[in-house]
Structure formats: structure tokens, C-alpha cells
Structure 1
Amino acid sequence: MLEIRCSGTPYEIGFTHGQLAKEKILGSIDFYKQLFWESCSMTWEEVLQEASKYHDILKKIAARYLVEIGGIADGAHIPFLDILALNIRSEITFGLFSDTSNGITDIPSDGCTSLGWSARSKSFIGQNWDWRIEQGPNLIICHISHPDTEIPDIAMVTEAGIIGKIGLNSKGVGCCLNAIRCHGLDRSKLPIHFALRAVLESGSREEAVILIKSSGVAGGGHILVGDATGSVGLECTSRWVKELSMDDNGRVCHTNHLLLDKSGIDEPLWLEDSPWRLSRIRELATKISEPTLDTIFEIFKDTKDYPASINRKQEVDSKAQTLFTIVMDLTSKYAQVTVGRPTEYSERRFLRFVDG
């Protein structure tokens, strides 16, 4: 997996990202051109028109991120709107999906499973990130720093061209993501990948929660936010952001459907395996006496109900596969990333922040 280190102004960060990752960014664009057509019946030209609708409001509420996107576009010699479209890919795929999807009744599934766990003075979060294998080669690890500012340094796994994803920062704040498919968008709020970046720039879990609840999120999704004090799930729709607190055992588990009251939200049946995976990860967690990075990683290897299991395989009726697994020890500001299914990963990387 390509690993990029970016430092400087937002433009310099974006430019470095664009220069080094151009081939992978083009791969991301090609992938989403096909996916948006399948899931939303939208041509790329129509996608760019949709992306343009976000520009003016984002200039008001997230101007620094647009500068970074501009840097990526210039560095990669790719039009700005193409990069912006990648950064609203969730709002398009999961907010503007077509019920017929060009005759394809099985919408591509972003079937991730996540877990937060606080116990014995340790706080962990982690997930399997499940998506189409065609996008696997376009994943990168991105390290970002803003010298001479109070913004924490960031280490995240992302899709090339997307400025916010899954990872942790030098303050020990981390986030994970579960896709949720529900109708409706509010373009006056943060796209979910912008929201993830905002979490990764936060100084604490509490600060991140306040920020996301006050700004709102444009479409559906679940963001698991954690720090050394524990974790919380943020179920997001275009209408609200609600908190899913840790249970009595210090755990937050989530898959790909809303768990809290969803009155007024149109969430059609999507992934039948989502409730099964939620029940399964809760069951597996109860069998562990003490959570560690290694014992949590073992949970993500589980293949019950294969291929649509926690550890997914893209075959038969499962349209997604686990492309990477990340487990973060937020107390120690440390993470392990494995590329590929956790039972057969091709490489392992470590992300670490050292105090002082």
C-alpha cells in the first residue's frame, strides 16, 4: 500500500498527495464512474454537476478542505470537480441511489463491521473495511501534519483522492466508518468524508462529537469516534446526528443499519447480513476476557455465515470483500493495519505517535 507523508499548508498537503498518488487517484475515478452508473444511474457528467452543488456551501463551512482538494487536483493534473466528486462519493452512492439501479437489484455493498471497547484503562476501536476488490489497489496510507498550528498530526487509511477516512491522530483520537444507505441529502451540511477529516483534526472525543453534531452530516453513515476515555457511535442522517453510547461492558458495536430511533428516515432493506454481523461481533466480544490489539484483531477474522461474514469474501451473494483491517489502541496512540482479508493479509503496517 502506498504510504504518503504530507506537511505544510492545506494546498501543499494536497499537492503532495496529488503528485505521489496520481495513478491511484485516476483508478479511484475510474472505479466510481462505473459504480455511480450501477448504483445511481448517473453518468460522470451528471456526477460532476452534483459535485458542483456542494462547492459554494463548502467554501463557507470547510474552505480549508477545498483548498486541499484544489492542491490534489493541481498536483495530479486532474480537474477540481473530479476530486470533489470522490469526496462526496458516499452522498452519491448511499443518498442518491436508484431503486432499480439500471436493472441491478443488488446495490454494491459497503459492508463494514466496527467495534469500540474501553476496559482496564485501555481504549480500542477497529473495523474491517469492506468494499469492491477493484478499489483495493487505490487505497493509500496518508500521514498529514500542519506545522505551526494546533491541528494534530494525522495517520489514516483512505481511498486515493479522498481527504478524510479511517485512522487516528497524535492526540489519540480515532475514527471508523460504517456505510448506511438511506434516502435524502442535505447539502448544507458536511459530506461524511469531510466529517471524518474533522474528527481526525479534533483534540478529543468530546470535541469531535460536539463538532459533528453542530455541523451535521449531509447523508447517512455511522462514525465511531474514540480516544483514551472511550468511544461513542454517531449515527448520521441528513436530518440528525445521534449518539450511540458504550454499553455496560464499555463496548460500541456497529454494522450497516441504523440502531437508534429512525423515525422519519427512509432506510430501505439493504444488507440482510448487517444484523447478523452485529449480533456476531457482540457474541464474539463476550468471549474475550481482556481486550487487546491482538484479541480484537482475532474477532475480525471471523467467517461465520461466509461469504457475507465479518471477514467478507467477494463471491456468491457477497458483493464486497474485506480490503483492510485496522485496530487502534487509542491509549497508546498506536494502530495496526493489515491489507487484504485478515485471515490472508498481504502486508501489515503500523501507525504510531510518540509523545514528545
Structure 2
Amino acid sequence: MTLPLIIAEGTPTEIGVSYGRQAAELIAGNFADYLVKFQDTGGHDPAEVTRLGEEFRATTHRHTPRIAAMLDGVAEGSGLPVGDIYALNARTELMVPPITECTGVAVLPEHTASGHTLLGQNWDWYPSQSPFTLVLATRDERGHEVLALAEAGMLAKAGLNSHGVGVGVNLLTSDRDGAPGGVPYHVLIRAVLDARHGIAGSLGVCSLPRSASINLLVGVAGGTAVDLELTPGLTGRVLPQAGILTHANHFVSGIDVRDRFYDLGGGSSLFRDFRLRQVLETAAAERRVTDKDVMAALQDHLGFPHAICRHVNHEDPQELWSLTASSVVMDLDERRMLVTSGPPCENPYQTIDLSDVFGSARPDSGF
């Protein structure tokens, strides 16, 4: 099974309306699925969900007006109330998820066979969400292009842009979460990709207010990578070691927070980041890592079923069921994404090249 590719161009509003119209059925299905989760894990009824979404709309307009224009357009195009679209993009803030998600990796160009920066991650989440996953490609009126995995109605998860910047994301949870006035979790991800001035501009996401913790692994073509552990009011930084940077779902930068991950009783996050490095380190030391090596690492089953490549464990209560919904590997120099629908051990990677989507020349500046 391949993921649907949604292509939208124009001003931010035009992009949002086009996306909303093309994916209206998927967006409605995704929101209906999350309404159940908002009630079960956050105690929010539909009216409160809409009200809270309107509050996040206000903060998004204040701090990221172009992204807000896109989300307003998604609401118009899909026919859903605008507050519901913002609630979708703030799904992490509106839930208390009992599961953790994602293992990410960046490999620097001096350690890859191609001399390119590679970025990859597995996105682990609830099985019920899988039917509502897509790939979104956008080109705005300035010529700036973005290619991103996304949940229907959202603007990004893992992705890359036409300036060679890529991002992966991991769920974090801390004692600082729940602060009012933040920009939604998935708007923060899109803000990395919407920045037009390379990685320096993308790292400006640190200045945006937050209501929930988030980890962003940001890399750039022909260059470097940095991991940002963002909580309300604090930022931690992690840098590559021996050409590899990995991250899972617990804090490692040493910032002054109480990591609520440990309230879940530990788990696979405590080894997944190290295991991903362990699988790739020999090839990295020999400066020969390829995208196939990263794909193979993301299929690793040590600790099965709670491994890098995650599968439903039917011995767990149903509310704890999770699996690798998508696996993504990106060559940031080639502006190429390889992505699966479902666990990568069972599903082939489909290839999407940003230059093929729009048939345009790549910008020659911005690194």
C-alpha cells in the first residue's frame, strides 16, 4: 500500500484550501478518530475540543501567521470548523498519550557513501490512525517547497524542504507541559520546514512559545544536524557523535525538567536510540552509510514487539497498542523521501523526489 500524495500550490490560504478539498474525507476520518482519543485520554468532549482549538488558533495567528493562514484554508476546504482543524494540530496538547512514539537518526555527509546528509525515523502511533496518513507537497507563492509525511489535516511530521533542511520528530513529556499560550506541537514542526533561510532560519523554532514538550531532529544538505529538546520555557541541545545523531522518547540533553517518560515505567525508549546508533556505527566509521543501511536499521527488531520497528503486542491492553505507522528515510541533498505505509519490515518504501513533484530547479542557496 502506498500513501496518498496531496499536492497544493499558491499562497498559504490557497495551499490550505486545496489541501482541505483534496483530503476532506481523510481529514474528517482523522478528526473523528481523535475525538475518541481526546475524550478517553484527555477528558475533552467535542465542544471543548473546538473551544481549545480556537485558543490554539489565536496563538498560531500571533506567532506563525503564514501557517495559520494555511490551517484556516484547510478548514475552509475540508468543511470542518476551524477550531477542529487547530485541535487536530494540537492533538498532543489535548491528549495524555499512554504510549511513546518514534526513533530518529541523522548521519552526517562525511560518514555516508554519497557524501549526502541522511535523515530517518520510524513514527510509532495508534493503529487506528494509519488509514489517515498521507504525504503533503506544497509550493508557495515565493517558490518555497515542502515535502512532508502528515496526518490528514496536519501540515507536517517528518519532512524536508527545497533548501535542503529536513526534520524528524519524537514525543517527549515533562513536568512543564500544559502551559497556556503555546503554538501547537505540529505547527512547530511545520515552522522548521517553512523557514526559507536554511538550517539557521529553521532553528528559530526555539523562540516560539510551547504548551507541550517536543523533540526536533533537524539536518541540512551537505552539512550538519542538531537535536532540539523543547519544553515550555526551556531548550536542550544534542549534537552528533562520530557522525551519527539518534533520539527516542526520553530527555538526554540534561535540561532541568522532570521526564514523565519514567512515569510510564521505562520501556523501549531507553535502548532504541542507542540501538539505532549501534546498528549503523560500523558503516559510519567506514564512511559508507547508504539510505539502504538506514532503512535496514529502522527494521531492527531487538526487543520485539517494542523495538525500533514496532508491532502491536496483543498481550497489552488495547489502549496501549501501537505500531510503526510509517518509516521515513530522507536524502536531504537529493531532496528525496522514501516512506512506508506501516512497519518497514512488511511494507516497501515508496520514493518521492521533491523536484519530480513540481518539476522545478532547486534553489542554489540557503544552506
Report if TM-score (shorter chain) is over 0.5: yes
Counterpart position of 2:121: 127
Counterpart position of 1:227: 220
Contact 1:132 1:314 in 2 (8 A): no
Counterpart position of 2:358: none
After the TM superposition, which residues 126-205 of structure 1 pair with which residues of structure 2 at under 5 Å, given as runs? Answer: 126-147=120-141, 149=142, 152-183=144-175, 184-202=177-195, 203-205=197-199
CA distance in 2, matches of 1:129, 1:57: 27
Q: After alignment, is 303-312 or 262-271 more displaced?
A: 262-271
- Superposition RMSD on alpha carbons, in Å? 1.8
Deviations 1:144-175 (A, max 9, x none): 0112x2x6200111001012321101111000
CA distance in 2, matches of 1:244, 1:304: 25
Contact 1:323 1:339 in 2 (8 A): yes
Q: Which runs of 5+ in 2 are unaligned?
A: 356-360
Counterpart position of 1:208: 202
CA distance in 2, matches of 1:351, 1:86: 27
Contact 2:234 2:255 in 1 (8 A): no
Counterpart position of 1:101: none
Contact 1:164 1:195 in 2 (8 A): no
Find the residue that maps to 1:198 and give its secondary structure: helix
After the TM superposition, which residues 57-68 of structure 1 pair with which residues of structure 2 at under 5 Å, given as runs? Answer: 57-68=59-70
1:291 lines up with 2:289 in the alignment = yes
CA distance in 1, matches of 2:127, 2:259: 29
Deviations 1:169-213 (A, max 9, x none): 11110001101122423343422211111111123122211x112
Instruction: Give 1:30 deviation, angstroms.
Output: 1.3
CA distance in 1, matches of 2:61, 2:21: 24
Counterpart position of 1:355: 362
Find the residue that maps to 1:308 and give its secondary structure: coil
One-letter code of the match for 1:182?
Answer: S
Find the residue that maps to 1:257 and give its secondary structure: coil
Q: Choose the corresponding residue for 2:107, options 117, 127, 135.
A: 117
Identity %: 27
Q: After alignment, is 255-264 or 82-91 more displaced?
A: 255-264
Q: After alignment, is 13-22 or 181-190 more displaced?
A: 181-190
Relative to structure 1, the CA distance from residue 266 to residue 113 in structure 2 (aligned partners, 3 Å threshold; closer, same or farther) is closer
CA distance in 1, matches of 2:325, 2:70: 26
One-letter code of the match for 2:156?
Answer: G
Find the residue that maps to 1:304 and give its secondary structure: coil
Q: After alignment, is 59-68 or 14-23 more displaced?
A: 59-68
One-letter code of the match for 1:212?
Answer: V
1:258 lines up with 2:217 in the alignment = no
CA distance in 2, matches of 1:57, 1:302: 40
Relative to structure 1, the CA distance from residue 281 to residue 264 in structure 2 (aligned partners, 3 Å threshold; closer, same or farther) is closer
Deviations 1:276-332 (A, max 9, x none): 212211211223242111111100000111000000001233621011111111122
Contact 1:324 1:338 in 2 (8 A): yes
TM-score with structure 2 setting the length: 0.88
Find the residue that maps to 2:48 and give its secondary structure: helix
Deviations 1:5-38 (A, max 9, x none): 1001111111111111111101111111111222
1:277 lines up with 2:269 in the alignment = no
CA distance in 1, matches of 2:155, 2:226: 22
